Amino acid sequence: MLSEDLSTMSYQLELGLGLCICLIGVAQTCSEGWIKHGSACYHMTAEKESWFDAMNMCQIHGSVLAYILHQEEENFIIGLMNSKHFNVAWLGGSDWNLEGSFLWEPYGDKMNYTNFAPGEPNNHHHNEDCLLLDTNLHWSDRNCDDMHFYICKKMDDITGNLIG
């Protein structure tokens, strides 16, 4: 009798788990390896690259180096970085086009939200054109050849399909 009860319980547990996994499956609209937040998907890399190579790798995978539209999104990204114990990561901003005027690359979109650390961007040694996010110190401009982890961002499948 007891083993029968246990077997029924186990069956119900499996059924419940199956239902949960199925629901997660329905809600998931980002490719494997990408994390959904809002209507976007984010990929946090395990390799360090120069800013240019980071942007290239994101674009190869149908995305761009992450752009941040508001404080809430920045908090989410910092949470991602903290979960992997990354202190800094490249973002998609650059002032390559006009010194001191940072835009979101590769499309040159205007930054409506910025969060530069005090004294930044400072174009140190006249050689800093790329945007780095520091989980403690916010944004700064850095030498684009420096090697850092990076975050790619793309619209999720549903939003992407609607737009595309």
Q: Which of 73, 74, 141, 156 binds Ca ion (CB under 5 A)?
A: 141
Tokens of 87: 């202190």
Judge if the upstream peptide bond of residue 121 is cis by omega within 30 degrees of 0. Answer: yes
Q: Where in 94-133 is the site for Ca ion (CB under 5 A)?
A: 95, 122-124, 128-129
Considering beta carbons, is residue 119 or 164 the nearer one to Ca ion? 119
Beta carbon of residue 82, minimum distance to Ca ion (angstroms, whole number)? 22
CA neighbours within 13 Å on the CB side: how many for 98?
A: 6
Least CB distance to Ca ion at residue 37 (A): 28
Angle, CA 81 vertex, CA 79 and CA 84 arms, to 5°: 110
Q: Which is nearer to Ca ion, 43 or 142 (CB)?
A: 142
Binding status of residue 140 toward Ca ion by CB under 5 A: yes
Which residues, at least 6 apart from 130, have a Cβ–Cβ distance to it below 8 Å? 51, 90, 93, 94, 141, 142, 143, 144, 146
Give me 96's structure tokens: 């390559």
- In the bound complex, what is the minimum distance in angstroms from residue 57's beta carbon to Ca ion? 22
**Any contact of residue 145 with Ca ion (CB under 5 A)?**
no
To Ca ion, the closest distance from the beta carbon of 85 in angstroms equals 23
Q: Residue 98: which residues within 8 A CB-CB, separation 6 or more?
A: none
Non-local CB neighbours of 144 within 8 Å, separated by 6+ positions = 50, 51, 52, 94, 96, 128, 129, 130
- For tokens 């990204």, what's the residue? 77
User: Which parts of 34-93 interact with Ca ion (CB under 5 A)?
Assistant: none
Query: At its nearest, how many Å lie between Ca ion and the CB of residue 102?
Result: 8
Total chain residues near Ca ion (CB under 5 A): 8
Which residues here bind Ca ion, judged by CB under 5 A? Answer: 95, 122-124, 128-129, 140-141
